Structure 1
């Protein structure tokens, strides 16, 4: 299948060329298959864009040139695939370097600074990485997401000195903007949360204890010697100042109302490598979510005993519960049959048990946020006056003032590009009650959505006789819906959790209530 059924027009200027290219790129990457994973669409889109730009740039420079004499000899992409490291993406031209460290060569320099570079003579650029000896000039522009983080770079080489200009830079920046709008780059979500992942030496940033070097290489590569000439000054390069970053502490917000204290902590970064390793060691598993917000928590407990909350929602508690739940009979007989992982056709030949046999890849759980030293759950009895269920009338009453509310993200993972798993907590405190919603959502693309929801409700002042324990009720529900077949006008990946909850079938519904654990005598 080709891009068009008619030949591309003849251009009289680079402005006309890039005006046309931007429109063609929009057509190539807008509306890719909804049955593909985001990463599959990324490769499809970038491959076509590389081919389009490679041949159209060459046709503009030399309409009648043979393929081996093309003026643009390389066009492609380098994508952030790991902290501080670019990996080779789709390209047109000779085989190229498979990885480039941030801060190294033209591509690494642009990835570090976030600023485009036009170099008229690559041999005069300090530290130039020569993948093709025929390359003489080069233009590199960053692909930027909303917070200004670089997720990839576009790299174009020419066999002619001084081949690229400001027009090329600006035109390619417009192409990059279209790509950022429509494609899901490998580290986009992680960089959106923690831009420091794009800096060189990121693994040493956590905690600020390890010494960092601007150009230190683990394999001992010598530093490039700057090239100076009397005729041409070295190109000016804008660099991000490299500083030693101290580990941030979470922000803490405490709210007290009607004898209850709600404490929320938030930290705008994911777990560091050291933190992840410590958690893996404590859990006895090697598979943790791609994005885990260890600094985000919500605690609820009596104001009279502030140091001992009854409920605590955190990714560490969730992971610990999931690792334990995976080994239970209930998981094997109830939850596992509802959604078997792996399930999609692409996984059928892969034995996922060899990856990590100690954890369910979707981290399904029976997590209620309980602090076990303080409270436990018992089934809520029917027809008991002082043990009612959730008062939906209170929750639906729009006349009741909402004192405060919030949302806490705990974790996110793309299931190895096969879907999405998220865990989050919402809370709402009114003048007469508080309400908490814990939600664990699993989406397997082109197959099924599975969701576990736990609603926690307490009307202030409500207690149970004769114990006098505050009556806190829990509603646990498991939901599922098939997304194996496309539906006109429905984008399963864009559907909100609230919409999924309303549309999915309820597989299981159980009600519980909280009991206070007796202090050890």
Structure 2
């Protein structure tokens, strides 16, 4: 489903006042995973946990946003919701001949579903997140523009005891005048459920803000009988068949950076970050 990049790499790319950092390293050791699960009060964490992987976009003045597995998993429901219980029972019934299914249904969200939209960076200076009616210009994204930097970072993946897949990955592409990022959580519980939570982040270099769009889609597999089965393993293809259950449109406004008063300018002013 996703790129399994086990080769360690640490890349920085400068884009005006921004620095994009992509860190990809080895899978977490089981002892570290167990310790982290304890800290998070979860029975267990995904089989493939890339706890040190990160994709970060940071302004020279310190504020920014990053995407990492630990913060994403902190957004996982620690208790079963009604839908998840129903789903688990249906799944357990369909797998009754298999003892493994008994192990999976535990009092926590064993699908690792997360509505994580990124971690804001900065102490005194951070993005101001507000609702917006503005939308990402998808037509502009389709125009052929030189890609100066591209990277995909896998944050976690779990094969649900061979009964599907649950995973989170983030990818970014930087063009001369903009960058576009997609954080995708993808879940397939074989024979039961498909779910996709996408966070898109878009920035044009002449703007004083980024646009962030979160879309959650979900469908029971029984409602997807019209979809060719091979598409079930292709998130990009299956996406168009899944009904939207939630959308959040936000503007990440850059913080005001105070300028020191000088004798030439008696009135102190606030200017926005470049």
TM-score by length of 1: 0.43
* Deviations 1:186-240 (CA, angstroms, capped at 9, x unpaired): xxx9xx877xxxxxxxxxxxxxxxxxxxxxxxxxxxxxxxxxxxxxxxxxxxxxx
8 Å CA contact 2:63, 2:121 repeated in 1: no
User: Are 2:198 and 1:491 equivalent residues in the alignment?
Assistant: no
Paired residues of 2:87 and 2:192 also in contact (CA < 8 A): no
Q: Deviations over 1:27-76 (max 9, x none)?
A: xxxxxxxxxxxxxxxxxxxxxxxxxxxxxxxxxxxxxxxxxxxxxxxxxx
| Number of residue-to-residue matches in the alignment | 248
Query: In the TM superposition, what is the alpha-carbon distance from 1:439 to its structure 2 partner?
Result: 0.4
Closer, same or farther in 2 for the Cα pair 1:504/1:370, shift >3 Å? same
Contact map agreement 1:193 1:270 (CA 8 A) in 2: no
| SS in structure 2 of the partner of residue 371 of structure 1 | strand
Which moves more between the two structures, 348-357 or 336-345?
348-357
Q: 1:390 to 1:339 in 2, by over 3 A?
A: farther
Q: Which residue of 2 aligns with 1:421?
A: 166
Structure 2 residue aligned with 1:500: 238
Alpha-carbon distance, 1:280 to partner: 1.4
Distance 1:300 1:339 in 2: 37
- Counterpart of 1:265 in structure 2 is 23
Alpha-carbon separation, structure 1, partners of 2:204 and 2:111: 34
Find the aligned partners of 1:428 and 1:438 in 2 and give their Cα distance. 12
Which of 88, 110, 119 aligns to 1:370? It is 119
Larger relative contact order (C-alpha < 8 A, sep ≥ 6)? 2
Give 1:293's aligned residue: 50
> Deviations along 1:319-345, whole A, 9 cap, x unmatched?
1222xx546xxx95xxx6389541322
Contact 1:287 1:356 in 2 (8 A): no
1:253 is matched with which residue? 11
Q: Secondary structure at the match of 2:148?
A: strand
How many angstroms does 1:477 deviate by?
0.6
Counterpart-to-counterpart distance in 2, 1:449 and 1:354: 17
Matched with 1:317 is: 71
User: How far 1:482 moved relative to its partner?
Assistant: 3.5
Max Rg structure: 1
Which of 114, 123, 131 aligns to 1:380? It is 131
Whether the 8 Å CA contact 1:291–1:413 is kept in 2: the answer is yes
- Give distance in 1, aligned partners of 2:122 and 2:75: 15
Q: Do 2:180 and 2:201's aligned partners in 1 also have CA atoms closer than 8 Å?
A: yes
> What residue is the counterpart of 1:390 in the other structure?
136
The answer (yes or no) to whether the contact 1:299–1:309 under 8 Å persists in 2 is: no
- Structure 2 residue aligned with 1:279: 36
Q: 1:414 to 1:301 in 2, by over 3 A?
A: same
Give the CA deviation at 1:457.
Answer: 0.7
Instruction: Pick the structure with more helix per residue.
Output: 1
Question: Distance between the aligned counterparts of 1:337 and 1:356, measured in 2?
Answer: 14
Secondary structure of residue in 1 paired with 2:119: coil
What does 1:309-458 align with in structure 2 at a 5 Å threshold?
A: 310-322=64-76, 325-326=77-78, 332=81, 337=83, 340-342=86-88, 343-344=90-91, 345-346=93-94, 356-357=106-107, 359-371=108-120, 375=126, 378-382=129-133, 388-398=134-144, 400-458=145-203
Contact 2:213–2:249, Cα closer than 8 Å, also in 1: yes
Match of 2:205 in 1: 460
Unaligned stretches of 5+ residues in structure 1: 1-188, 195-247, 383-387, 464-470
- Residue pair 1:339, 1:450 contacting (<8 A) in 2 also: no
Counterparts of 2:236 and 2:170, CA distance in 1: 13
Measured in 1, the distance between the counterparts of 2:57 and 2:183 equals 13
Distance 1:288 1:474 in 2: 27
Asked if the contact 1:373–1:517 (Cα under 8 Å) also holds between the matched residues in 2, the reply is no
Write out aligned runs for 1:41-120 (5 A): none
**TM-score when scaled to structure 2?**
0.77
Give the strand-richer structure, 1 or 2. Answer: 2
Whether the 8 Å CA contact 2:227–2:241 is kept in 1: the answer is no
Q: For residue 491 of structure 1, give the secondary structure of its aligned residue in structure 2.
A: helix
Shift of 1:434: 0.8
Structure 2 CA distance for aligned equivalents of residues 424 and 339 of structure 1:
26
Task: Return closer, same or farther for 1:412/1:254 CA change in 2, 3 Å cut-off.
Answer: same
Match of 2:263 in 1: none
Contact 2:178 2:202 in 1 (8 A): yes
